[in-house]
Chains A and B, each alone.
Chain A
Amino acid sequence: MTDRTEPMRALWTDDELDRALDALHADETGQLATARATMDDALAHQGVPMLTASRDRDTAAPRPPRRRRRLYASIAAGVAAVAAAAVAFTGPFGQPQHQPPRHQRAAVPDRTTVATVPGGSTMRAAAARTLRFGDPKVGPGQYLYVKDVAQSLAVYGGDSGPLGLRITGQTEKWVPYDQSGTWVQHYEQVGKPKWVIGTRAQIAKRGAKLERELTGSHPPSWAEAICGDFYHAMNGGTPRCVDGNEVRKQPNTQLLKQVPRDPKAYLRWAAGGATAHPDDVEREAMQTSSMLLSSGVIPAALRATIYRALATLPDLKVTERVANFNGKRGTALGLDSVDRRQELIIDPDTGQYLGARSSALAGNDVLPSGTVDYFDALTVAVVDRPRQRP
């Protein structure tokens, strides 16, 4: 054993340290096509900011520039990430120093996970059923109505401990029969935000201001855009069907032609292609699939491909057999990362995609285990005109 009284000695040479630094994550590559397109888009408008006025501070960026599909859902992801950074360094050990008191934690949904089993057979069955069930029959002149109700948890850090605000938003979309036509979108907040993490004193001190900032940056809004390109429509750009748009973030019929129909090829594509880090393949594939499915415009044949591809993920598990989800019964299929569980909810009878859920696992730096920080419910229907509700 090492003598603890022995003077410190150099266990690595400088050269060994430099070699290790050179090797660490050295295979991580990437592309700049989307960033370049975003930049070109902004330049084409000669500096018209593509970020909202509420995002003047460098560190306050709850929405990445291209994440329009998750426009409101990303509140949780973005703000929670800010909070994670803030919280993680408030205490001397990099851990949150204040857990929510029992009366506050009671408002946080508990994890309802049952014993997990591999999810491959469930996904294969869902693929078969979704093909049999098919798509909503949208006729010429009609619209596909897609409603996504998303509940997000925005977590804020601070010297006195984390604060968590649960906010629910509803996004409605009217998708024309010919998807190159004009789509309509409406967003509104549902109910009042609810503080679920934090002491009464913390909430009284900071809550009102944070709540105003959060809800004020996402006011009720209507938008129209060809091909569903709401991102450019809402940021001063020119909506377009394909160029400069990413299928996984804002899919439409034309963009979906880029998505492989073979499950293996799909999996490679969804994981980011050949440049994907091996550790990230399953998580990236899950994330891409969730983004596509939650758009509500993925045809049954592609849904089946996605399900079959996900069925091959070795770590995909049935995490809950009967997820009570927006009044619908579903099967939750999840993938665990270090401190987070991502789940898709599938209707076991029809194979329809019902929504997604994200929750914290033990070891999460910010949230108590079991805390659901994102939960959405998707419904689709057919209507005769835009802005009409079924």
Chain B
Amino acid sequence: MTSPAGASPVQSAAGELDRPNLAALTDTALTERFGRLFAEHAPGLQRYLARRVGAATAEDIVAETFLAALRRRASYDPDRAGIRAWLYGIAGNLLKQHERTEMRRLRATARLAAGRTTGTDHADAVGDRVDAAYRVGQLATALSQLSPGDRDVLLLTSWAGLDATEIGQVLRIPPGTVRSRLHRVRRWLRRECPTTTLPDEDGTDD
């Protein structure tokens, strides 16, 4: 059974939650709404940002994101983007200021992984654990070489769990561009990422 508008009550409620009309809220409703928004979206945003720039910086960005959202709530247009995409868009702009932090972390991870693998003997080097650490290090190196736009698309997908439509709203590009960019980035990572080849089983490079 559907409503005259074609959406079930459950869908309507979900839609209202996803695209609230922030501009029309009274003070009391505003407090309640932002409390819910924070409870619903801040943990995910924190986890995503922490993986990019570290936990302490991430918390600062989360705080700034919600303060900015509160301050600019009248500019939120539910017809243009879901609330999650809007929040990630604000956070993304703030994240740009921490580009150097992110690069430093990626390079440090790459160095750490290299240290863990280069000092390992042959038997360990072919083990799953070292192989995984090696790949993480290689991935960190590769991510540091991506353009900011490509990195955003990849990590918003993998770490934040946003779909192409939402990422398009975050980055203000068409969903089709998101998909093609994601395909291109993943292809590049799969083919170009291992810039240093793992030792073969006989201990030599190829």
Contacts and interface: CB of A to CB of B under 8 A. Distances in A.
Nearest to B149: A89
A107 interface: no
Contacts of B159: 21
B97 A78 contact: yes
Interface stretch (A4-12, A118-126, A259-267): A4-12
A64 B60 contact: yes
B42 to A, nearest CB: 5
B191 A9 contact: yes
Contact of A24 (B60, B73, B109): B109
Contacts of A89: 147-148
Given A17-B186, A35-B66, A24 B54 contact: no
A9 to B, nearest CB: 7
A313 B76 CA distance: 48
A372 to B, nearest CB: 17
A250 to B, nearest CB: 15
B70 A42 contact: yes
B55 A50 contact: no
Given A47-B70, A51-B67, A65-B64, A36 B42 contact: yes
B201 to A, nearest CB: 17
A81 B27 contact: no
B108 A32 contact: no
Interface stretch (B9-17, B29-37, B119-127, B163-171): B29-37
A12 B138 CA distance: 11
B68 A11 contact: no
B96 A59 contact: yes
Interface string B82-126: 000000001001101111110111011100100000000000000
Interface residues on B, range: 35 or more
A65 B60 contact: yes
B51 A24 contact: yes
B180 interface: no
A30 B56 contact: yes
Contacts, number: 184
Interface residues on A, range: 35 or more
Contacts of A51: 64, 67-68, 71
Contacts of B148: 85, 89
Nearest to B206: A2
Interface of A: prevailing SS: loop
Contact of B59 (A9, A26, A31, A46): A31
A171 to B, nearest CB: 21
Interface string A325-344: 00000000000011100000
Interface of B: prevailing SS: helix
A366 B191 CA distance: 31
Contact of A25 (B62, B68, B109, B191): B109
A289 to B, nearest CB: 14
Given A14-B190, A23-B136, A38 B56 contact: no
Interface string A250-277: 0000000000000000000000100101
Given A1-B206, A24-B136, A49-B67, A35 B190 contact: no
A279 B206 CA distance: 32
B153 interface: no
A35 B55 CA distance: 12
B107 A23 contact: no
Contact of A14 (B35, B47, B100, B186): B186
B81 interface: no
A17 B190 contact: yes
Contact of A84 (B71, B73, B99): B99
Interface in A66-83: 66-67, 78, 81-82
Interface in A13-44: 13-14, 16-26, 28-32, 34-36, 38-39, 42-43
Contacts of A25: 50-52, 105, 109
A10 B187 CA distance: 8
Nearest to A40: B35
A213 interface: no
Contact of B139 (A11, A21, A39, A284): A21
B55 A337 contact: no
Contacts of B143: 24
Contact of A43 (B31, B135, B189, B190): B31
B100 A81 contact: yes
A21 B158 contact: yes
The 4 closest A-B CB pairs, nearest first, are A30-B55, A58-B93, A35-B63, A85-B99
Interface of A: 1-2, 8-14, 16-26, 28-32, 34-36, 38-39, 42-43, 46-47, 49-51, 58-59, 61, 64-67, 78, 81-82, 84-85, 88-89, 272, 275, 277-280, 284, 337-339, 365-366
Given A35-B59, A66-B63, 8 more contacts: A20-B136, A23-B132, A31-B59, A35-B42, A38-B66, A43-B30, A47-B70, A272-B55
